[in-house]
Structure 1
């Protein structure tokens, strides 16, 4: 099938945490024989911070972040068998959602792919005129980055014909164990941009343990942290490019996952970083959220903290040997059950199901 995908960016992870998710799923879809064209705006300095060159498994069209630029790529919707509009493009989201309803062929599949479902659902609950809410009756399917049964039920209640979670996963060719890198030496490291709906949780789960353990070394990567007051034992890195993620995860004693507020509240929403860390055989400490055991077993494959004191206690008692055991077990679990090859097969089956039903009729 010809797939036209309108998203934030495939080429850059700069202020764009969904990049590695898009790459993993779409690369796997291409292996199933689909021809993919990814449309991304030249916005937010992402093109100046590319992580990858245009891949051979997808055509990438970068369009100017202007009304004329948008108009220049909408014809792609009328020429595709499957049209996908992802959430969080960051510019022209309303116009792209409305076009998703109006421009594809009558027999094309129309899909909204929500990479921040909890936040989108909150917005729709407060705004009956939200463009996604208005579009739902015309869409064939909603796919989500995560969220589990609560998100599926909420989307169906708002009128979605079908909602399927397509969880994050591991691309073992991209994320894997590497030798330690002294730049990333620390007792605990966290990677995530500074965002309003995450900052309070970063204060609790990362900065509080740093204050409780002044003799330990803490490392924080991501945009926005350099101008914030931090404990003296916390070092900032700024943006960490995808090519450096393996070393960032493999070098510290442990790495920390902190969910954003909405994802922690809904649960069943493991971040990309969870799978990247496990792929590098890192010892992962995560804040507690419902559904973690679907992906990693608490205590043996991941350490789970209810608050900052828990993080400090876990870190204080964590030996290098136990950290290595947890990281190895996590990698084995993820390789067995949560790789992008499996996610691509899932989406391929979802795309082909309507065709099978049509022939059966």
Structure 2
């Protein structure tokens, strides 16, 4: 299969979760014998922080403006599938072009589904419009559960299927290293996540000065009051993620507000931490039990008391059992190889279904 992906970024993991998600998925997809071309908008922010300018599992090429994609029309048209990602700059224009050029399946991969739907409710069409959704043969969604029915029933998606993020099991493994922190968090600053980070990490840090904490990620405002026992790291590159997770007794998972409301939206950081043997403490959201079992594979916390109860528990054997159980579950069901196989099946099914849909035939003759 030949797949063309128009995504936010593959080249830079700086300040986004898209690059690591695409890297894991497409590397595994290529291992299955498929050919991948990734087209990335050449933006200064990512150009200044490229940590994978030349991947060895696919072709990565850059374009300037959406109009530059016309030079790719023959290649896009010849591909078995074209997949447009969420948050692509000028994504509505790019999506229209992809749908018009595609000779095979045209899919949308939404790594931000609840955020996308919240935007559409407000009339914000930054990278997707309601009118585009029926024109995508397949809507691959970061979020499962009731959201899939919503995409088909309200927005007219011909096929909406969950394609959760995943972890590259070869890249994310436990690392033998000294434990530096009792609890760490890895994530770019987000205003709607910050109150949860305050409640589940900063407040525990203030109340337990003998414990050590870390928050890694860019874009945090200068005015945040960081307790003295919280270490700040501006950026941890993907190559250093396993060592970062392995240096933590526990890792905190914090979910964006729109994703909590939608449920069924696991974070890539959750998969990564568990694969590296760091047990996870998470905020609470519907559908988490579909990913990891609360109490045995993941611990849920509503406030500082819950977090401190875990961190101050001297039973390290229980911690190790949780870590082992979570890692086993992730490797059994949530690796990039699992997702690549799912994507392959979805694209083949979409290709079969496309031929029977009048809107697909109309699009092809337009």
Match of 2:83 in 1: 84
Alignment of 1:208-357 (within 5 A): 208-225=203-220, 227=222, 228-317=224-313, 319-355=315-351
2:14 aligned with 1:10: no
Contact 1:225 1:236 in 2 (8 A): no
Work out the CA distance in 2 between the residues paired with 1:104 and 1:128.
Answer: 26
Residue number among 161, 174, 178 corresponding to 2:175 in the alignment: 178
Match of 2:98 in 1: 100
Match of 2:162 in 1: 165
Work out the CA distance in 2 between the residues paired with 1:282 and 1:34.
Answer: 33
| Cα deviation, residue 263, structure 1 | 1.1
SS at match of 1:200: helix
Work out the CA distance in 2 between the residues paired with 1:315 and 1:282.
Answer: 13
Work out the CA distance in 2 between the residues paired with 1:85 and 1:332.
Answer: 32
My pick for the range that moved more, 291-300 or 126-135, is 126-135
SS at match of 2:132: helix
| Cα deviation, residue 190, structure 1 | 0.4
| Cα deviation, residue 312, structure 1 | 2.2
| Cα deviation, residue 71, structure 1 | 5.3
Alpha-carbon distance change, 354 to 268 in structure 1, aligned in 2, over 3 angstroms? closer
Contact 2:282 2:299 in 1 (8 A): yes
| Cα deviation, residue 201, structure 1 | 1.8
Alpha-carbon distance change, 161 to 320 in structure 1, aligned in 2, over 3 angstroms? same
Unaligned runs of 5+ in 2: 357-366
Partner deviation per Cα, 1:171-210 (whole Å, 9 max, x = no partner) = 111100111156xx11110000111222222122221221
Q: How many residues align?
A: 353
Contact 2:159 2:350 in 1 (8 A): no
Residue number among 192, 196, 200 corresponding to 1:205 in the alignment: 200
Work out the CA distance in 2 between the residues paired with 1:229 and 1:216.
Answer: 17
Q: Supply the RMSD in Å over aligned alpha carbons.
A: 2.3
Alignment of 1:122-141 (within 5 A): 122-127=118-123, 131-141=128-138
Q: TM-score, normalised by structure 2?
A: 0.90
Work out the CA distance in 2 between the residues paired with 1:327 and 1:356.
Answer: 41
My pick for the range that moved more, 95-104 or 213-222, is 95-104
Match of 1:22 in 2: 22
Contact 1:190 1:220 in 2 (8 A): yes
Partner deviation per Cα, 1:212-240 (whole Å, 9 max, x = no partner) = 22221110000023723211211101111
My pick for the range that moved more, 231-240 or 120-129, is 120-129
SS at match of 1:143: strand
Unaligned runs of 5+ in 1: none
Alpha-carbon distance change, 331 to 49 in structure 1, aligned in 2, over 3 angstroms? same
Contact 1:181 1:247 in 2 (8 A): no
Contact 2:137 2:350 in 1 (8 A): no
Partner deviation per Cα, 1:254-297 (whole Å, 9 max, x = no partner) = 11110111111111111011111111111111111111111111
Contact 2:263 2:285 in 1 (8 A): yes
My pick for the range that moved more, 305-314 or 47-56, is 47-56
